[in-house]
Structure 1
Amino acid sequence: MVRVVVSTLPALRPLLRRGSLLNHKPLPRSRLQPWPFCTLSSSPAAGAPSAVVKGEEVALDKHLTRCAAAGIAPLRVAVLVSGGVDSSVALRLLHAAGHRCTAFYLKIWFQEDFRNFWSECPWDEDLKYAQAVCDKIDVPLEVVHLSDEYWNHVVSHMINEYRCGRTPNPDVLCNTRIKFGSFLEAIENLGFDYIASGHYAHVVHPSAENTEAPSVLQLSKDKIKDQTYFLSHLSQSQLRRLLFPLGCITKDEVRRLATQMALPNQGRKDSQGICFLGKVKFSEFVERHIGEKEGIILEAESGDYLGIHRGFWFYTIGQRQGLRLPGGPWYVVEKDVQNNVVFVSRNYYSLDKRRRTFRVGSLNWFDNFGPGNNEQLKCKVRHSPEFHDCTLVKERSEENGDALVVHLAEDDQGLAAGQFAAFYSENVCLGSGIILDSWDKMSFPVCSRALEIAKLADKSSLGKPIRIVNLEHIVKPEQQEEIKVA
């Protein structure tokens, strides 16, 4: 069993008792008042740091602690730990750099009596590892309960978005609203200079001579593990409070350090999937909180009735798995939210279905201006090392306010409304926005027959689904129209 951690910080005691944090409304950015900026260049470097563990010393190259603000006057740093290797190494690097650290474990898993329909408690093992890492260097660990906040600011938003046919990104929302939102607000008056975590990103703060300049979010040294995409919707007031010690090193170096430091979790695998689900399948979570509603699947080009589904919210644009249709492969290309109809196609990747243009709203820029009109940039439309060259055109409408029309230099078949698009200039992340729609003509070209069938109030008149056999490896293309059989 994990021992009960009693807080020494009075402001956090209500959270440890599971009191509500402030209120259940989404956290307004304006409530995050600027902290007095603590410059990172206040004193000269003091030589190479080392990590001391109960008498054992591990020498560290200077580049390993460069993003940990090594060699300056000690800072008070609140370090978010998860029990994983990344956050543990981040804590150890900050500690080796001479900073006064307090570790915080954010418990966002639903309580046993809190909308919980499964018995697994995945946070229990995580907390044990986090405690063991902190014990080795005598760093205090505080456990902060933010389950209510996570439900109200992240999970409920996800459910509402899926009901509307959009695909949100919970990791971006968690960083913006929980880790560096609700938690940052909770410790705002506790005297910490910075908040740190194990994200692979690099924040460059302004110098002592120019403290009014904005902080800059840069790509990490490890381009494969880079997580600037997940941090791209933070505000400038949030960004200037953050340190990411892993931004200057690679994942291989993190693993090597974990071994050299004899971390108890050095062999743990990286976590995968949505953070709050643990071992629960996403489809099970959606079924529990949204339910099922039978609908029909239609071929986009012909309107042919191919089968049934459990509800459009189980599917996202570009999805191939889980359709269970013969004659494929089939891809989800469009959804009729009002009539609960899913449109599919086998021509999702055909050259005549170019997907290079989409619109982005809810814009967030780290400076006050954002990119210029028709500016050439790079963008990411998902967490990936891949970038697209793109051009941005500004527009404004009553429905979406300020928005961007994004023109990609090459096709991307994975554009999904509700996801984030992050924009970059060289190695600097400028900010991001939410994808409003995809496809050049705002939708996949669904034929008029399919659209009319989707509107039918009584779909029982359609009879049995048509069974389409895929014989493209046997017959010629001009004969394939004849292979549809009942």
Structure 2
Amino acid sequence: MLRVMPIAMASLLSHITSLSLPLKPQLCLFSQSANPTRTLSFSCSSYSSAISQNPDPSNSFSGDIGSYLSCSMPHKRLKVAVLLSGGVDSSVALRLLHAAGHSCTAFYLKIWFQEGFENFWSECPWEEDLNYAKAVCNQVDIPLEVVHLTDEYWNNVVSYIIEEYRCGRTPNPDVLCNTRIKFGVFMDAISSMEFDYVASGHYAKVVHASADQMDKDSALELSQDMVKDQTYFLSHLSQDQLKRLIFPLGCLSKDKVRKLATEFDLPNKERKDSQGICFLGKIRFSDFIGRHIGEKEGVILEAETGDFLGKHRGFWFYTIGQRQGLRLPGGPWYVVEKDVKNNVVFVSRNYFSVDKRRRLFRVGSLKWLQGLPPNQISQLECKVRHGPRFCNCTLIVEHGEDGNEDVAVVHLSEDDQGLAAGQFAAFYQGRTCLGSGVILESWDDQGFPVCAKALENARMEDKSLLGKPWLHIF
């Protein structure tokens, strides 16, 4: 059953305004303003579903479902808003909450469609997802709402990503989508509907305080599946957001989720997991960036010698540690630094040599899930990207003065060659995620050394002279 439901949005404008500020306001400021007449709309879209649906709404489960419900609050009867994407993970999460006895309403977020890219697909990019979501809900007669958040997504996520790349940094869209849209704008939008919790198919675990200790903080903990774990993408949430969340898959492995999809006979049980950036769909990221930032020819220089190696279409197409797509002979080559002002990309074949250490970096835009940590913590683990790899670290907080933000200095116990400004660093103590921040450009002398000649060549106004043999006689 697909329904239409209007929602009061009295406080939405101020919320969007606060969320739309850049994470690093001291760098490359830009303006994002909300439309004062804009409200979120819930509506039905016309489409036909060719997906087979289980005709039996009861859809009995052959195994012991109770053993899978430990992260679904089975001992309570709750009203839960469930984010449903049409994929296997969110569909299983919905069915687990339904099996636990909760009153569920599913919400499909229509967040991305840009007319300029319609030639990249042969069908509506969200239609198949929505058809699967509807089929999953029809199995157990759960209502499904479609929420149009295209404008909000553009203002709060996509515009920020474009400006970050324009400034030479590498943002993480999935972290921003969770913080600003799924559990930001959307969560505020349904606040008047009196849901007890919002749920999704994320691989993470939220531990809430008991009913007699509601003033205590909730904790974000690692899921059972360390490969699929998504706490990194959730590490920049606030405590207020965390308190309202349930992640039914936090106690399960991906194999068990697939098994449950088969047991529930979900219409999408054989569907592959989605890959890549959350909003792009079938669009290549380079095409997306090229459309919005454009192209500007620049040069590629060897970091150790300053030698001219080739040309590129714009520094914003490259990120630190990148190997693929350089198309340079004699490699492998790695991107090691970028000169944003002069549109120069520095590369090296010695990126992983022992003298090119990156064990220290600085983090700003800090957000802690459970209050401020001590000024110095020596027994932490850190993630600088999604995946199962952790690194031991020490964190020292430098408190900002005169209204400046706090900055953390992070010392890693081992080298990490893939650190890039704009990415998030998430911090853990045991299985608990403490919070995260954004990696800043400021490096110490342990950063990759670019030689003086390379820096000099990067500043040349007429770079067409680079690589000319006669230059080397001077």
TM-score calculated relative to the size of structure 2 = 0.87
- Alignment pair present for 1:406 and 2:398: no
CA distance in structure 2 between the partners assigned to 1:465 and 1:161 by the alignment = 37
Q: Note the alpha carbon deviations across 1:283-302, whole angstroms, 9 max, x for none.
A: 11011011100001111111
Instruction: Say which of 256, 274, 277 aligns to 1:274.
Output: 277
CA distance in structure 1 between the partners assigned to 2:71 and 2:20 by the alignment = 29
What is the SS of the residue equivalent to 2:198?
Answer: strand
- Alignment pair present for 1:434 and 2:438: yes
Question: What amino acid is the match of 1:324?
Answer: R
- Alignment pair present for 1:133 and 2:136: yes
Q: Tell me which residue corresponds to 1:97.
A: 100
How many Å apart are 1:372 and its aligned residue? 4.2
Structure 1 residues 219 and 170, CA gap change in structure 2 (3 angstroms): same
How many Å apart are 1:400 and its aligned residue? 5.9
- Alignment pair present for 1:284 and 2:287: yes
Structure 1 residues 353 and 442, CA gap change in structure 2 (3 angstroms): closer
Q: Note the alpha carbon deviations across 1:330-356, whole angstroms, 9 max, x for none.
A: 111000000000011110000000111
What is the SS of the residue equivalent to 1:57?
Answer: coil
- Alignment pair present for 1:183 and 2:186: yes
1:354 touches 1:439 (CA, 8 Å); kept in 2?
no
What is the SS of the residue equivalent to 2:19?
Answer: coil
% identity of equivalent residues? 66
Structure 2 unaligned blocks of 5 or more: 22-54
Q: Tell me which residue corresponds to 1:69.
A: 73
- Alignment pair present for 1:110 and 2:113: yes
Structure 1 residues 465 and 146, CA gap change in structure 2 (3 angstroms): farther
- Alignment pair present for 1:396 and 2:399: yes
Instruction: Say which of 425, 447, 450 aligns to 1:446.
Output: 450
Q: Note the alpha carbon deviations across 1:452-474, whole angstroms, 9 max, x for none.
A: 111111112224599xxxxxxxx
Structure 1 residues 226 and 412, CA gap change in structure 2 (3 angstroms): same
TM-score calculated relative to the size of structure 1 = 0.85
Question: What amino acid is the match of 2:413?
Answer: A
Structure 1 residues 111 and 166, CA gap change in structure 2 (3 angstroms): closer
Structure 1 residues 331 and 228, CA gap change in structure 2 (3 angstroms): same
CA distance in structure 2 between the partners assigned to 1:310 and 1:141 by the alignment = 44
What is the SS of the residue equivalent to 2:366?
Answer: strand
Question: What amino acid is the match of 1:130?
Answer: A
How many Å apart are 1:56 and its aligned residue? 3.8
Structure 1 residues 54 and 117, CA gap change in structure 2 (3 angstroms): closer
Question: What amino acid is the match of 1:425?
Answer: Q
Structure 1 residues 144 and 22, CA gap change in structure 2 (3 angstroms): farther
Q: Tell me which residue corresponds to 1:337.
A: 340
Q: Note the alpha carbon deviations across 1:129-163, whole angstroms, 9 max, x for none.
A: 00000000000000000011111110100000001
Query: Which region of structure 1 is more displaced relative to structure 2, 395-404 or 447-456?
Result: 395-404
Question: What amino acid is the match of 2:80?
Answer: V
Structure 1 residues 348 and 438, CA gap change in structure 2 (3 angstroms): farther
Q: Which runs of 4+ in 1 moved over 4 A?
A: 20-24, 397-400, 463-466
Question: What amino acid is the match of 1:205?
Answer: H
Structure 1 residues 267 and 280, CA gap change in structure 2 (3 angstroms): same
2:358 touches 2:447 (CA, 8 Å); kept in 1?
no
Instruction: Say which of 252, 255, 259 aligns to 2:255.
Output: 252
- Alignment pair present for 1:10 and 2:3: no
Query: Which region of structure 1 is more displaced relative to structure 2, 361-370 or 53-62?
Result: 53-62
Equivalences for residues 365-404 of structure 1 within 5 A: 365-397=368-400, 401-404=405-408
Q: Tell me which residue corresponds to 2:17.
A: 25
2:362 touches 2:443 (CA, 8 Å); kept in 1?
no
- Alignment pair present for 1:241 and 2:244: yes
What is the SS of the residue equivalent to 1:67?
Answer: coil
2:323 touches 2:334 (CA, 8 Å); kept in 1?
yes
How many Å apart are 1:79 and its aligned residue? 0.1
Equivalences for residues 181-330 of structure 1 within 5 A: 181-330=184-333
* CA RMSD after TM alignment: 2.3
Structure 1 residues 239 and 161, CA gap change in structure 2 (3 angstroms): same
Equivalences for residues 153-172 of structure 1 within 5 A: 153-172=156-175
How many Å apart are 1:28 and its aligned residue? 7.6
What is the SS of the residue equivalent to 1:401?
Answer: coil
Count residues in correspondence.
433
CA distance in structure 2 between the partners assigned to 1:191 and 1:234 by the alignment = 21
What is the SS of the residue equivalent to 2:266?
Answer: coil
